[in-house]
Structure 1
């Protein structure tokens, strides 16, 4: 099925894209990074297929979310399609400040990442969603491994997010335990939700989980850049990160040489836009329905050819 859809997409793009775009400026591969969560792989695959259909040589490279900036600075890596305002802003700003990495604009998606709890936990922990309520009922979230401390199930360590720093800065009676993978994070949520077992964990959107499960994000002190960078700002005058996570756009970034070496590709990357709703639906098809990323991307491209074909014009 995926091959048939991709063949149809390729046939269309031969007319729609090649008719509007000159031959690729270089046949060297454009290296797009992939990470360890489904949505990012979907985003990157859409971009890669659009570039392939425009005649470019594309290579997908598995890379660490934060550490990838070293390769983007040197040109060993070329494009990263999802830098979340919530977790990647500091690394992105540092990289773009060097002049070797370029911000290619917003993806069209808006990120929320924060601690989240199922609705049934509000019955055993009155005061939620206020973060201070968590300390009053930390033992309700404890496991045999963390007791008497509550357990917060964080994302993989590579995602960043400063949860360990936040727990310490706010004096929370919790231990941060990091899930090994995105899949493991949501498998544990599914298991806990079915059993109505205690859990508070990292949840994010765009994703299918906030729609599938009834629950709420914890409300921490409001985020500010100063809270992250100046210990004197915030509840704890001796520590940074004593506030919630930021929210905002999901960005695209690229090695500075992309615009010079592949200007047509750079134009398409800048034009890329996908909505939260579309991405949540695609991730659900992969994670919940068992479709492959290639199938889902091919289906989306077949249904949205007018949108993506315009990116490379």
Structure 2
């Protein structure tokens, strides 16, 4: 029976490879600088190049450039759009020029985050404790790049709650370095973070409650593409539509990358350790 199953699996993989041969194998994946985005983009690049001889370019750009680039055909696909709330404003101008496909991760989180040792539990409490959350001499919320969706929502939160703090925008790694430094000294700090993210495995953190629901409810992460991608690449579209990850699989992938300090090395290790799951994704493309 094992031999029969092995033969069937091999036949399915051969058929998938033959089907993939008919598709355009030179693709550009648009990425942004979120930990899970970097993780899954490198994972799929390695899988498609090593198994099916694709030539994948990863192009890291701002959110605005990503959506306009997909609409213009500069990129073929991107693996992360949060809906129905977080990325809706980026999608709206291009909704008739892009294809939003199936979701691959459910139950996201997004908002203002503090270490669990912090004495506050809600965003409104920041108003009275703003002076405790200083950064370089000024009450601040540490964020990522100013063009990100979470940065825009944080500006809205500051206005809606009347917070006497300013958002300091930087890169994700710079924000995480500041969080690590404060955490090691048990100092107050408030940052913009999201789930899934490896930080929640590394540190004991909590989201501040958001009674005005500025950051929205839990969402789903979908993959999306330029127009007509599904017609040009039916096999890959089926594979990506059946791709699913959860906290264990995605968290493990991000943890491998963080530990390795390199997305290619970390993703390679994760793929080697999760062959059965990867094969399951690829076989469903038939």
Find the residue that maps to 1:169 and give its secondary structure: helix
Question: Whose helix fraction is larger, Structure 1's or Structure 2's?
Answer: 2
Matches of 1:265 and 1:250 in 2, distance apart? 18
28-37 vs 14-23, which deviates more?
14-23
| Distance (Å, rounded) in 2 between the aligned partners of 1:102 and 1:190 | 38
Matched, 1:203 2:173: no
Q: How many Å separate the matches in 2 of 1:63 and 1:257?
A: 22
Q: Which ranges of structure 2 fall in alignment gaps of 5 or more residues?
A: 1-8
Mapped partners of 2:254, 2:193: distance in 1? 14
* 2:205 aligned with 1:215: yes
Quote the offset at 1:252 in angstroms: 0.6
Q: Which runs of 5+ in 1 are unaligned?
A: 1-12, 123-127, 224-242
Q: Offset at 1:15?
A: 6.0
Give secondary structure in 1 for the equivalent of 2:99.
strand
Please tell me the root mean square deviation across aligned C-alpha atoms, in Å: 2.3
Q: Does 1:172 align with 2:172?
A: no
CA distance change for structure 1 residues 23 and 111 in 2, over 3 Å: closer, same or farther? closer
Distance 1:14 1:31 in 2: 29
TM-score, normalised by the number of residues in structure 1: 0.78
CA distance in 2, matches of 1:248, 1:134: 25
Would the alpha carbon gap of residues 143 and 182 (structure 1) be closer, same or farther in structure 2, given more than 3 Å must change? closer
1:121 is paired with a residue whose SS is coil
Partner residue in 1 for 2:4: none
- Cα shift at 1:95: 2.4
Distance (Å, rounded) in 1 between the aligned partners of 2:184 and 2:114: 14
Mean CA deviation greater in 271-280 or 74-83:
271-280
**Aligned residue in 2 for 1:238:** none
Q: Which shows bigger deviation, 69-78 or 275-284?
A: 275-284
Give the TM-score normalised by the residue count of structure 2. 0.85
Q: In the alignment, which of 146, 169, 175 is matched to residue 185 of structure 1? A: 175
Q: Please report how far the alpha carbon of residue 198 of structure 1 lies from its aligned counterpart in structure 2 after TM superposition.
A: 1.7
Whole-Å separation in 2 of the counterparts to 1:210 and 1:142: 22
- Do the aligned residues in 1 keep the contact of 2:132 with 2:188 (CA within 8 Å)? yes
Residue correspondences, number: 270
1:242-261 Cα distance to aligned partner (Å, 9 max, x none): x3344211111011221122
Q: Quick one: distance in 2 between partners of 1:158 and 1:14?
A: 45
Counterpart in the other structure of 2:14:
18
8 Å contact from structure 1 (residues 47, 272) kept in 2: no
**Aligned partner (choices 62, 67, 70) of residue 68 of structure 2:** 70
* Partner of residue 79, structure 2: 81
Moved more, 254-263 or 82-91: 82-91
